[in-house]
Structure 1
Amino acid sequence: MNQLLPLITRTVVAAATLLVAATAAQAQGVTGSADAGKKKAEMCIGCHGIAGYQNSFPEIHKVPKISGQSDKYIVSALTAYKKGDRKHPSMRGIAASLSEQDMADLAAFYSAQAGKAPGDAPKTASAAAAALIEKGACASCHGANFAKPIDPTYPKIAGQHADYLYVALKAYSVEGNNVVGRSNGIMAGIAKQFKPAEMREIAKYLGSLDGDLQTVPQSRFR
């Protein structure tokens, strides 16, 4: 198996490079306004503006930290919900109501709220977690410290809620479900290598790292 890891890593990097090129080719060039996004974020703060707020679908987990994600990733994620590539009913309903300008404005607002940037080297993982991270070639796309992805359309995952990371990773392995799952050829291939317990181990380690993602409480929840 160890002999296959370099091949898996090269395959993931090659596929990621192709996806980056395709994403760049499809870019619409819409410029977002953080000030406009602040006004439009009213629909978001009920979940993403409350520290520790939990979602009960498809299982109980904390809603993700989105303050500090790159603007391009936020637009990419919202677009995936709108298209149905991400099948979360609530998020799909919200994303369906957004124009490209709305998405760009929200992305500008949330991307400007990054916390303190982490260092280049994350803390040492346990032997079990390190082996799983290497098997999944996670650093190939998300960066050596998991907070500087190779392309801004990919998420920062260092310091993200571990229970959310687990649910998200598991969603990529789901097929044939109308309300649960995520369509992404790269992540599906990676996720299907792991058992649920292994996904939890990966998520636990990544969630323990320093990162610049955070939940910024909005005024009505302070």
Structure 2
Amino acid sequence: MKLFQAYKLISALMLLASSEAFAHDMSSGNLKVAVLLFEGVEEIDYAGPIEAFGASGAKVFTVGQTKATVESVWGLKVTPDYEFSDAPEADVLVVPGGGIKAAWKNPMLLGWVKERAAKVKVVMSVCSGAFILGKAGLLDGIPATTTASLRSQLAAMFPTATVKDKRFVDAGKIITTAGLSAGIDGTLYLIERQSGKKQAEAAASYMEYDWKPSLN
């Protein structure tokens, strides 16, 4: 019995050491990711990409119009790390969707998105966040997607964009994804594009996410 308990203790210590080594390895990323938050934002639209980017070693922070707490679609309350006026520079800007009726009519929010889009390497929208990009003039003349139920509406509102029935669309600087969990697939794709397939696979494995890169 004592031998079995000792074995369990050794196994637990080895697992802990392995986990700590993994976390150290994953913390080596230099990508800086800014995630937009607003009242009515969809939880998985921002939490999914944050988890995937974080698992890849990226430095992730959230930005709101102010630092006031915002309430997400399903009631989760989140306080942004920064506000528009003091947000640091980033390599990637993530624009989630959700309840966007106020957000896409907010000139200050749209202006900040457009201004930041000019400075970052990549802008990625999730779900109905594509409508915010469209309102900011970022979908003009490029292929794009959004959540399946809103693709016809996206095409009608932004006729110069070519709306695709895909889980995510890479238009170079602009990546748009379909709804909800598709934001995780788009993020893993972006990690693969920026940092290599091994980094993306490691992040997906850490998340225990059944990532199928060939399915888009």
TM-score by length of 1: 0.24
Larger Rg: 2
Determine which structure has the larger helix proportion and give its number. 1
Query: Structure 2-normalised TM-score?
Result: 0.25
Q: Greater relative contact order: 1 or 2 (C-alpha under 8 angstroms, separation 6 or more)?
A: 1
Higher strand share: 2
